[in-house]
Chain A
Amino acid sequence: MSLALAEPMPTGRTVVPREPTSGVTGLGIALSAALHVVLGTVLIIGLPRLFDPPPPEEMPIAVQLVTIAPETRATRPNPNPRPDAKPEIPDVEPPVAKPEPKPEPPQPAPVPPSSATAPPPEPQRQPEPKPEPPKPVERVEAPSPPPPPIPAKPPEHAPEPLKAVEKPEPPKPREKPEPPRQMAKHEVKPEEPRHEPKPEEKKYDPRQFDALLKNLTPQEAAPSPDAPPQKQRNATVKASSQPRAPLGGQLTASELDMVRQQIARCWNVPAGARDARDLVVEIRVVVDPDGTVRQATIVDQARLGDPFFRAAAESARRAFFNPHCRPLHLPAEKYAIWKDLVVDFSPKDIL
């Protein structure tokens, strides 16, 4: 209100000063008019240029476009896979599992090596569990029957299941090495939309981080258990916001952050295990151009004899086969940078 009243007041007074200025020559008026016109045109032309710079600033935001691209691609395959989903099932099996095992002979996971290695360990273990069942029989019910089953069980069981498993898997990979990629895309993509709904993320983070290592005493708890959960969130934020410049190559911070968060969402941390904080697992990953992980190899094969490490390593490796991480969200135009990845999993910020 006060402003509205103030404005009319000066206008009335300004009329008076104009009269003396009007005494100036017409040239002056013409010049000033011309100058105003020039200034006006300059301003009009100049302003757009001034506004132009901001768009280039927005250009870097084009990262979003990059990320959108894979998603939109993902939607394309969706329609196809749904109708084909059931019929593809038989074909699908070979592509996903087979490509991985072939290239990675060292991995325990790959079918050929695992099948070869797996049979021996199982028969060895079998003797142990077998005595268990007989024991109950002996102690609880009948002592005589248990002994015979023990010897018979190991030979029978071990060879049969293992062979059955081995046979189907090895032949399939050989038959269709390349097509699997496409198949994988179709499979994965239909699943993503279902899983990606954010409710899951929300569920996991708050609940589990808070629930982990619950402590009823705020005072005593504060030093050890309560502190970690808070650090966890901070730590994750820091980790994500700080790109590892030297190692990240040409991936931008946001690109790294995105894939890092995606993998973290797929990784079920082996919580509660003894010394779980120290179980750092290194996984070497080969990625197809569409972002689908083709191979995921546990680097430190020598430690797989340790059941704790093996459990942790397999949980890390499993992350890359989680439908939420197939495909990985990586910029397609930078495939040369991320086709070979080494991913370190360490639960130190959580546990």
Chain B
Amino acid sequence: MNRSCRIVAGAVAVALVILLNTSGSLRAELRIDITSGKIEPMPIALPPFPGGAANESQAGRDIAGVVSADLERSGLFRPLDPRSFIQNISATDAQPRFPDWRQINAQALVTGSVKTQGDGRLRVEFRLWDVFAEQQLTGFGYTTTQQNWRRIAHIIADEIYKRITGEEGYFDTRIVYVSEAGPLDKRIKRLAIMDQDGANNRLLTDGRALVLTPRFSPTAQEITYLSYGSGTPRVYLFNIDTGQQEAVGDFPGMTFAPRFSPDGNRVVLSRAQNGVSNLFALDLRTRRATRLTNSQAIDTSPCFSPDGSKIAFNSDRGGSQQLYVMSADGGDARRISFGSGKYGTPVWSPRGDLIAFTKIDGGSFYIGVMRPDGSGERLLTHDFLVEGPTWAPNGRVLMYYRQSPSDSRGHGGSTRLYSIDLTGSNQREVITPQDASDPAWSPLLR
């Protein structure tokens, strides 16, 4: 009994000591878990970049305007109305008056300057400030020709996006697409290219040959696309800088649905022959073609995974058109889509985490995403006709085209480009001078 009493007493004493110690430490450090928050665009102030001469001030206004528009379209930033600004940033301000910016609820502030150098080129600098912490987050300077100011603006927007989100931006990019004009039964389709925000639009082909499905090379200013130039639909390469075109490979029959490999050295495409379509890979250096599938079905829309190890495609080999993933050499094909309706045009995200696709179900078209194993299917948008998803280089935004229905007299049927972010809540029309379809997003220009 005595022993047990002593043991109990000792245990109690130890427990008391531990309790006292822990309570002391708890007093010193209270711990709180925050598992919810708000999800809203970050309020950011982008006053015009001041400059000395009139042309500098104009460039400063223009650049701030383009940066602001880029960030706003991303849906992650909310540029504040310049009329609410209290401090009028001047070129001599080394540091902003942060309370002035907190006052208008800005969380981030971008200041900059524009100067004309002796050689006539523009020197543009910017700094991104954390208004609450009163510290500079990043800052760079650029020099370029006066006409190139828009490019600088996109690069600055990318830097801001990257610093705040931790991810690469996508503003310094271009879109190649098919520009459409004329009545539906006599449509003229030309390759066109523009900045990601719709600026600097220009036509690449003259419209004599029908063009479809342009795709950007991930490594060069090169496009692969389908053209009816020689009568038979063939896959071509187009060099944006030189304007040169050439047919890819020498296949019998019709080739279509081309796409580059991640290293830019190969093109995967479909070849239709004798009523079936199979997938081929063409090495652009050796011009040698490799057969990837050999089915009695229609295999098409091949797309490499960003690491180049796998290819996603759609096939009706199982009875209805569904999505499949196979190894890059053509083996081990596995179906990944199992929802209702038909699935097509799988496009692997540059981040590798998702595959975008088009789905036709119940007479309606959808654009959606799923994980490469087929799980987590999520439909982002739908309409009478939505098609041709293409990823921004950072894998957070998709662009696609939407066609409205046409009547029996050929009216309607307008085709426009749209962008939508992965959350599905930020959908915007991309303004083009004419009707537009089949967009393809370039990699970052750098």
Q: Give residues in A with beta carbon < 8 Å to B.
A: 85, 88-90, 92-93, 96-97, 100-101, 109-111, 114, 118, 122, 125-126, 128-137, 139-142, 145-146, 149, 152-153, 156-157, 161-162, 164-165, 167-169, 187, 191, 195, 203-205, 208-209, 211-217, 220-221, 224-225, 232, 235-236, 239, 244, 246-249, 251, 256, 259-260, 263-265, 267-274, 306-312, 314, 316-319, 321-323, 336-338, 340-350
Contact A343 B32 (CB under 8 A): yes
Asked whether B10 is an interface residue with its Cβ less than 8 Å from the other chain, the reply is: no
Contact A204 B133 (CB under 8 A): no
Residues of B within 8 A of A265 (CB): 37-38
Residues of B within 8 A of A248 (CB): 30
CB distance from A133 to the nearest CB of B (A): 4
Asked whether B73 is an interface residue with its Cβ less than 8 Å from the other chain, the reply is: no
Name the one of B40, B100, B395, B445 contacting A132, with C-beta atoms under 8 angstroms: B445
Name the one of B141, B241, B376, B379 contacting A216, with C-beta atoms under 8 angstroms: B379
29 contacts between A and B (CB under 8 A): A96-B98, A126-B141, A129-B155, A132-B172, A137-B148, A142-B145, A157-B125, A164-B94, A191-B102, A204-B38, A204-B39, A208-B40, A211-B423, A212-B425, A214-B425, A216-B379, A221-B379, A224-B378, A249-B26, A260-B32, A264-B38, A269-B37, A307-B162, A314-B130, A318-B107, A318-B132, A321-B133, A336-B27, A338-B30
CA distance in complex: A269, B425 (Å): 16
CB distance from B26 to the nearest CB of A (A): 5
Contact B94 A272 (CB under 8 A): no
Restricting to B225-245, which residues have a CB under 8 Å from any CB of A? 241
Given contacts A129-B159, A336-B27, 8 further A-B contacts (CB under 8 A): A109-B135, A129-B155, A191-B102, A214-B423, A221-B378, A259-B32, A267-B37, A312-B166
Q: Residues 145-186 of chain B: 1 if any A CB is under 8 Å from the residue's CB, otherwise 0?
A: 101100110010001001111110000100000000000000
CB distance from B216 to the nearest CB of A (A): 15
Name the one of B34, B98, B155, B353 contacting A133, with C-beta atoms under 8 angstroms: B155
Contact B133 A347 (CB under 8 A): no
Restricting to B371-402, which residues have a CB under 8 Å from any CB of A? 375-382, 395-396
Contact A309 B32 (CB under 8 A): no
CA distance in complex: A349, B35 (Å): 6
Contact B99 A89 (CB under 8 A): yes
Contact A341 B32 (CB under 8 A): yes
Residues of B within 8 A of A168 (CB): 94-95
Contact B339 A220 (CB under 8 A): yes
Residues of B within 8 A of A312 (CB): 166
Residues of B within 8 A of A260 (CB): 32-34
Asked whether B36 is an interface residue with its Cβ less than 8 Å from the other chain, the reply is: yes
CB closest chain-A residue, reference B353:
A274
Name the one of B27, B29, B37, B94 contacting A264, with C-beta atoms under 8 angstroms: B37
Contact A129 B140 (CB under 8 A): yes
CA distance in complex: A279, B306 (Å): 24
Contact A235 B35 (CB under 8 A): yes
CA distance in complex: A121, B159 (Å): 14
CA distance in complex: A319, B38 (Å): 11
CB distance from A338 to the nearest CB of B (A): 5
Restricting to B108-143, which residues have a CB under 8 Å from any CB of A? 119, 121, 125, 127, 130, 132-136, 138-143
Q: Residues 74-116 of chain B: 1 if any A CB is under 8 Å from the residue's CB, otherwise 0?
A: 0010000000000000000011011110110101000000000
CB distance from B367 to the nearest CB of A (A): 9
From known contacts A133-B144, A248-B30, A310-B166, infer whether A346 and B35 are also in contact, taking CB-CB under 8 Å. yes
Contact A135 B445 (CB under 8 A): yes
Instruction: Classify chain B's interface size.
Output: 35 or more
CB distance from B11 to the nearest CB of A (A): 20
Q: Residues 414-433 of chain B: 1 if any A CB is under 8 Å from the residue's CB, otherwise 0?
A: 00000001111100000000
Contact A132 B155 (CB under 8 A): yes
Asked whether B351 is an interface residue with its Cβ less than 8 Å from the other chain, the reply is: yes
Contact B34 A247 (CB under 8 A): no
CA distance in complex: A164, B151 (Å): 27
Residues of B within 8 A of A133 (CB): 142-144, 148, 151-152, 155
CB distance from A151 to the nearest CB of B (A): 11
Contact B99 A88 (CB under 8 A): yes
Contact B125 A267 (CB under 8 A): no
From known contacts A136-B144, A221-B378, A271-B39, infer whether A337 and B30 are also in contact, taking CB-CB under 8 Å. yes
Residues of A within 8 A of B36 (CB): 232, 235-236, 239, 264, 347, 349-350
CA distance in complex: A274, B103 (Å): 33
Contact A90 B136 (CB under 8 A): no
From known contacts A109-B135, A220-B379, A274-B353, infer whether A345 and B167 are also in contact, taking CB-CB under 8 Å. no
CB distance from B124 to the nearest CB of A (A): 8
CA distance in complex: A178, B127 (Å): 30
Asked whether B285 is an interface residue with its Cβ less than 8 Å from the other chain, the reply is: no
Name the one of A271, A273, A322 contacting B132, with C-beta atoms under 8 angstroms: A322
From known contacts A214-B423, A272-B421, A310-B166, infer whether A318 and B133 are also in contact, taking CB-CB under 8 Å. yes
Name the one of B125, B148, B423 contacting A161, with C-beta atoms under 8 angstroms: B125
From known contacts A168-B94, A195-B105, infer whether A212 and B39 are also in contact, taking CB-CB under 8 Å. yes
CA distance in complex: A321, B445 (Å): 36
Contact B143 A344 (CB under 8 A): no
CA distance in complex: A264, B40 (Å): 13
Contact B34 A308 (CB under 8 A): no
Q: Which of A89, A195, A347 has the most CB of B within 10 A?
A: A89
CB closest chain-A residue, reference B426:
A211
From known contacts A93-B97, A109-B133, A133-B151, infer whether A268 and B42 are also in contact, taking CB-CB under 8 Å. yes
Asked whether B260 is an interface residue with its Cβ less than 8 Å from the other chain, the reply is: no
Residues of B within 8 A of A269 (CB): 37-39
